[in-house]
Amino acid sequence: MKKKFSWRYFVYHAILIALSLFFSLPFLWMLSTSFKADDEIIHDPMIWIPEFPERVTYSPYLDPEAHPPHWEKPTVLGKARWEGLQVDLKEAIGQKAKTMFESSQWPQPKNPMEPSLFVRALSDVSDHLWEAVHPRIPPSIWEAENPIPEVLDRISLEDVRRAWRRFYR
């Protein structure tokens, strides 16, 4: 024997579904507010549905100046000569920075660990020194047979101190 479904059966189910949705609204509201940013929680007018957060493209904890770009080639030098000179120049700048750091003229007292940290960061310090010094070098110096001594003469103790302070604070 088949049971006959009446319209009341559908009405009761519609009421039950409507009430279940109505009573689930506080849960949905609680769930959506848990995804809100701080500025959306207390806001006038109230923001009921949170927006997607903006994409983070940089970290506030990283100093972009602590990672300098590659060494720029002076415009008067050819590519082949620059590639040969760059390795020697980087080594000479690093040695000059180390000598200045170890000298008695260093402007502030050193922490006992600072010399070993300086040696570990010497490559990065050299990169920063190049960034500081290369704009001050006139093109005529690059035309010399060996421009490295002239470049080293342009490095000051203040340049080394500034480059070191980018890493050690």
Q: Do 41 and 73 fall within a single domain?
A: no
Under a CB-based contact definition with an 8 Å cutoff, are residues 54 and 119 in contact?
Answer: no
- pLDDT for 82 equals 87
- pLDDT for 161 equals 86
CA 49 to CA 59: how far, in whole Å? 27
The last residue of one of the domains, among 12, 27, 53, is 53
- pLDDT for 1 equals 52
Q: Do 17 and 68 fall within a single domain?
A: no
Range of the domain at 104: 64-165
Sign of CA dihedral 42, 46, 51, 55: negative
Q: Digits of tens for pLDDT over the chain (169 positions)?
A: 566 778 888 999 999 999 999 999 988 888 877 877 776 667 777 777 777 777 767 666 666 566 655 788 888 888 888 888 888 998 999 899 888 888 877 767 667 777 877 787 888 888 888 888 888 888 888 888 888 899 899 898 888 888 888 777 6
Under a CB-based contact definition with an 8 Å cutoff, are residues 51 and 151 in contact?
Answer: no
Q: Do 156 and 97 fall within a single domain?
A: yes
Backbone dihedral angles phi then psi of residue 16, each to the nearest 5 degrees: -60, -45
- pLDDT for 166 equals 79
Helix pair angle (122-133, 79-102), 10° resolution: 110
Task: Name the burial class of residue 17, with classes exposed (0-12), middle (13-18) and buried (19+) by CB atoms within 10 angstroms of its CB.
Answer: exposed
Under a CB-based contact definition with an 8 Å cutoff, are residues 90 and 126 in contact?
Answer: yes
Q: Do 98 and 134 fall within a single domain?
A: yes
Number of domains in the chain: 2
Q: Does the residue 69 lie in any domain?
A: yes
- pLDDT for 19 equals 96
